[in-house]
Structure 1
Amino acid sequence: MPNLSILFRCVILLAFSIFSPSLAFAGQSVVQLWLTTADQTNLLTQKVDQHFQVRSAANIDVRVDSSKTYQSMQGFGAAMTDASAIILQKKMSAEQRDKVMAELFGRENGGLGFDFTRITIGASDFSEAHYSLDDAPKDQTDEGLRFFSSAPQAANLVPSLQQALKLNPTLKIMATPWSAPAWMKSNRHLYQGSLNPDFYDVYAHYFLKFIRTYEQSGIPIDFLSIQNEPHFEPTNYPGMRFDSKDRARFVGHYLGPLLSENKVRTRIFDWDHNWDQPESPLAVLADAQAAPYIAGIAWHCYAGSPSAQTIVHDLYPTKETWLTECSGGGWDADWDSALPSIAGNLIIGSTRHWAKGVLMWNLILDQHDSPHLGGCDNCRGVLTYNTETGEIKRNIEYYAFGHISRFVRTGAKRIASTSGIDGIDTVAFENEDSSKVLLICNSAVVAHTITVEYDGKRFAYTLPRKSVMTAVWK
């Protein structure tokens, strides 16, 4: 005859397990979920927790395997352009600026925790005036850099960076020129032209002086690329042609040795242009003088596909990969197309192809997609600030990047993840605290119920059409 006391206790425990989720899932890993949908009914919305369970599943749609690791991560973010710094320092109240900066660079209260940003050495198209940091008087040269001045960036950019670093000490800063000073160029103009070889040594010292000047303001320059989009010569804002053989000579014989001799910790990236021309950075890496000074290759998203990053990585696996510019804009305002594009092609695509960091272009612009002077007149910032009403709009990029930057920390390792469904893209990471982060993008026009497997356990979730989901567990 069965022991009635034991039988009674079993019945009570079964009843509690039915009505008490915490007891039902005791010993099973909790999976926290955040969801954004293109219809905007969910915007980085935390959903009901799921639980990994040991159970059979007819199909495993996504497998995560932390035994296979790839690149370590720096993080995600957007460029602190002159335009963004002007809005923060001139257009906002101190109280509003503090809130916005904490939301972008901090981690408390749902902050995005941006760990990576990019600044310009001199002006870009997102500046109120076009300038370099050594604008010598007309028809003069300045080999001694007597006219070097960071004053055009001191009032807005410098305090913005100082505040960002205070909020996030792990923040890394990349700097890029759009043009050398006009007097150093073949056409003696900030627009178009190329760097005069007679000034290669002076230009290397220009970079050194820039790095030292920012260090004195408490702003370390972690990474440096020598030219934004070196195969493009814009006609109405600063730009400069800098072909591969010339970049190799400049880095290998001038800039690299100078930084090394002065024990400068700043690391040099080559290319900083689109995915469609991997042969250009490959030519620089093939140069025996330049290659030792090149830490990594920087990429932009505007042409080609992220698979170009793997082409270069496979040939030079010790050289790092970084995605350093991509912009949303009026040409892609529909959430149905833009959300999967940013999350699936840019964030997932670039990190699956070895990117250690991923950057959008402008951090914040106003309601007119400004300030800008020449160049792009409908680029979109991560945030839009209405200078008339004070309203802040969080754009598609804000939510797409929030799905990764809030959860993947500096030092995380990308780990293996696979997807068996068309239109479902994934990437996974393991943080240094052992927490796992899985980003899933559903670019399909229909919902998919997805079964995720990790370490022999599974959970299932129905992912709406055109949506992005982050799953976190430990």
Structure 2
Amino acid sequence: RSYFGTDGIGYTFIRVPLGGCDFSTHYYAYDDDHPGDSTLQYFNLTEEDYVYKIPNIKRAQELSPNPIRVFTAPWSAPDWMKEIESSGASHLLPEYYETYAKYYVKFLQLYAEQGVDFWGLTPQNEPSHGTTNGGFNSMGWTSEQLRDWTAGYFVPALKAAGLDDIVLMILDDQRTQVEEWAEDWYGNESVNSFSDGMAVHWYQDSNSDASVLTQAHEQYPDKFLLYTEACIFTNGVIEPILGDWSRAERYASSILEV
């Protein structure tokens, strides 16, 4: 009620992790326990979806006087679809490119069966993180790799399922990468047509000027920019620190800047 109700602050977006994320209580994806299940026979949602995510999404929709846009992003494919390095860095094995596209679509379909339709999605949360380490659910892609998988496998799978009207956002990573991803995706005619906008995270904003957002908007005015993730740990502490306004000041400064 405080976030979505008429007497609350009026949030109109909900970001739903596809499987586990870095705030999950444990590491998980879907179909974890059936390596090689290329037909996704054993794919199903989990307790986290049925008990927590879906009921809370519906409750927010009930409380909100405005439509709520629900969007999703995956942190990782099941481990059996990936090559995992000793550092924890990982990437999707090419032999599972098509399977993983269908895996993503199956998630969207199962949520729809539960009465939750997605407004938008990103192909991967923080693709750069998974290229260096795997401290939490992650999977690495370069901009070109993810672009080519999206164009060659994911978008065709969405179209085949009648889901190609879902808004597709690129990047879902740091502002330092905005220029590179805009050029790689928007500058490619075959990919530009299904790239609706760009999702941005704030963790490395101090390493780049906000003007990169202005430049991207001016160069590609038909593409929107949306900040999709921001959180603060103060010396490793995530709980409230009474009397400390530093987090609020950082959030306010970021909002004013962008």
TM-score with structure 2 length normalisation? 0.87
For 2:94 and 2:188, how far apart are their aligned partners in 1?
18
Q: Give ranges in structure 1 of 5+ residues lacking alignment.
A: 1-101, 351-474
Residue 232 (structure 1) shift: 0.7
Secondary structure at the aligned position of 2:129 is classed as coil
**Residues 165 and 188 from structure 1, CA distance in 2 versus in 1: closer, same or farther, beyond 3 angstroms?**
farther
Residue 335 (structure 1) shift: 4.6
Equivalence for 1:293: 194
User: Which has the larger strand fraction?
Assistant: 1
Residue 220 (structure 1) shift: 1.1
- Structure 1 counterpart of 2:137, one-letter code: P
Structure 2 counterpart of 1:160, from 52, 56, 69? 56
Aligned 8 A contact 2:179 2:212 in 1: no
Secondary structure at the aligned position of 2:84 is classed as coil
Secondary structure at the aligned position of 1:240 is classed as coil
**Residues 330 and 188 from structure 1, CA distance in 2 versus in 1: closer, same or farther, beyond 3 angstroms?**
closer
Residue 240 (structure 1) shift: 1.1
- Structure 1 counterpart of 2:151, one-letter code: G
Equivalence for 2:166: 266
Structure 1 counterpart of 2:123, from 203, 226, 231? 226
Residue 158 (structure 1) shift: 1.2
Aligned 8 A contact 1:271 1:280 in 2: no
For 1:197 and 1:310, how far apart are their aligned partners in 2?
36
C-alpha distance after superposition, 1:279-336 (max 9, x if no partner): 3312122223222111110000011343322222222111111000011232496755
- Structure 2 counterpart of 1:299, one-letter code: V
Equivalence for 1:143: 38
Equivalence for 1:276: 176
Aligned 8 A contact 1:175 1:223 in 2: yes
Structure 2 counterpart of 1:134, from 22, 31, 51? 31
Matched, 1:340 2:258: no
Equivalence for 2:106: 209
- Structure 2 counterpart of 1:163, one-letter code: R
For 1:229 and 1:274, how far apart are their aligned partners in 2?
8
Matched, 1:255 2:154: yes
- Structure 1 counterpart of 2:69, one-letter code: K
Q: Give ranges in structure 2 of 5+ residues lacking alignment.
A: none
Q: Please tell me the root mean square deviation across aligned C-alpha atoms, in Å.
A: 2.1
Q: Which structure has the larger Rg? A: 1
Residue 188 (structure 1) shift: 8.8
Aligned residues: 243
Secondary structure at the aligned position of 2:23 is classed as coil
Equivalence for 1:322: 226
- Structure 1 counterpart of 2:138, one-letter code: G
TM-score with structure 1 length normalisation? 0.49
C-alpha distance after superposition, 1:144-180 (max 9, x if no partner): 0112111232111111111111112511111111111
Matched, 1:307 2:211: yes
Aligned 8 A contact 1:256 1:290 in 2: no
For 2:80 and 2:70, how far apart are their aligned partners in 1?
27
Aligned 8 A contact 1:248 1:287 in 2: no
Equivalence for 2:144: 245
For 1:184 and 1:197, how far apart are their aligned partners in 2?
9
Matched, 1:103 2:2: yes
Structure 2 counterpart of 1:117, from 14, 24, 28? 14
For 2:151 and 2:246, how far apart are their aligned partners in 1?
43
User: Of the two structures, which has the highest relative contact order with CA contacts closer than 8 Å and spacing of 6 or more?
Assistant: 1
Secondary structure at the aligned position of 1:105 is classed as coil
